[in-house]
Amino acid sequence: MPKVSVIVPVYNCEQYIAKCARSLFEQTLDDIEYIFVNDCTKDNSVEVLEEVESRYPDRVVTIINNYINKGPGPSRNAGMQAAKGEYIIFCDSDDFVECDAYENMYLLAKQKDADVVACGIGYYDENDECLFSELYHTNEITKESLYDLKRLEGGIHSSSCNKLVRRDFLLKHSILFADGVVMWDDLFVTMRYRFFASRMCVIDKPYYHYIMHPNSITHEGILKRTESQILCAKMISDYFAGMEIDERLKRSIMFLKFKSKSALYKKDTLKRWLSLFPESHRYIWNFRDFYGAKFAIGRIFVANLGLLGWNCITILGKIKRLIYKVLP
């Protein structure tokens, strides 16, 4: 059994896959298997990958070919089904990792008997300049993080690429990525890491290097991102609906529902904003620590009076302008 299985979806990444693959093949940990999933790439990504692989003949590499383009979630699932490692970790084909990342993460996982080991993330531009790093500032992650709205999603909190996970843990809880979700797809998985894990440890160093380039999925159209977030929020809600959860987790799920539709809060889509996840509106005041009290009051105003068919965004804007005129 390999110590670690590294799973990498491959799609239209010929500019970046060589650097990514080199960083993986040069890991200091021995006994790693590498699983690349070709998601019907339209460029020369696979050829570039195979050329890099030929320089590392001692590495155990498998390339899986999807028969149709399935997206990153199903591609990762295909990699998980083929994986044999004691632990599994994911890497995006346009990113790269420090050469000792997996060794240090694996050793800590064994030492602490952890289901999950996470690391920090460094954010880089395409010229390899580090823009900033994101760290946990703790040695362990607990279920309490699911109740902290500021640590619920985004970056290190929801990424799957900075988390080494015990394969038996994934199998036990049937944790797979969602189909058709391109934003928050990691969140659908990593929320369950935090919910089920007996122990999640942290190496608070930015081992994973995330490249912020224009072709990233996070730079795609607002509408596509919004629809994906809405779908993911619904799937998370449906997943936990059949379980006994406390009020704190329920509040977090309502927060995700509310946040997923943020881009719809404008005049031409207000009707949909009002009708989508209306159950989350009862919790808006509970979100004030994340958004601020003024934001919460404004959304409460619109959520309630908007049901009467008023043009509440316009009304709220007029009220704000009036207040600014009256106040010194």
| Four-way CATH pick for 4-217: 3.90.550.10, 3.40.50.800, 3.40.50.10790, 3.60.20.10 | 3.90.550.10
Q: Name residue 238's amino acid.
A: D
Tokens of 267: 């005049």
Q: In the beta sheet, which residues pair with residue 64? A: 37
Instruction: Please check whether residue 202 is in contact with residue 119, taking contact to mean a CB–CB distance below 8 angstroms.
Output: yes
Buried b or exposed e, range 90-122, using 16+ CB within 10 angstroms? bbbbbbbbbbebbbbbbebbeeeebbbbbbbbb
Computed on alpha carbons and rounded to an integer, the radius of gyration of the chain in Å comes to 22
Contact 288, 300 (CB under 8 A): no
| Cα–Cα distance for residue pair 144/59, rounded to 1 Å | 39
pTM, rounded to two decimals: 0.89
Which residues have CB under 8 Å from 101's CB, separation 6+?
A: 27, 119, 207, 208
In contact, 178 and 188? CB cutoff 8 Å:
yes
**Each residue's pLDDT tens digit in the chain (328 positions)?**
999 999 999 999 999 999 999 999 999 999 999 999 999 999 999 999 999 999 999 999 999 999 999 999 999 999 999 999 999 999 999 999 999 999 999 999 999 999 999 999 999 988 888 999 999 999 999 999 999 999 999 889 999 999 999 999 999 999 999 887 878 889 999 999 999 999 999 999 999 999 987 655 444 577 788 999 999 999 999 999 988 889 999 999 999 999 999 999 988 898 899 999 999 999 999 999 999 988 888 888 888 876 544 455 566 665 656 555 555 5
Domain ranges of the chain: 4-217, 267-328
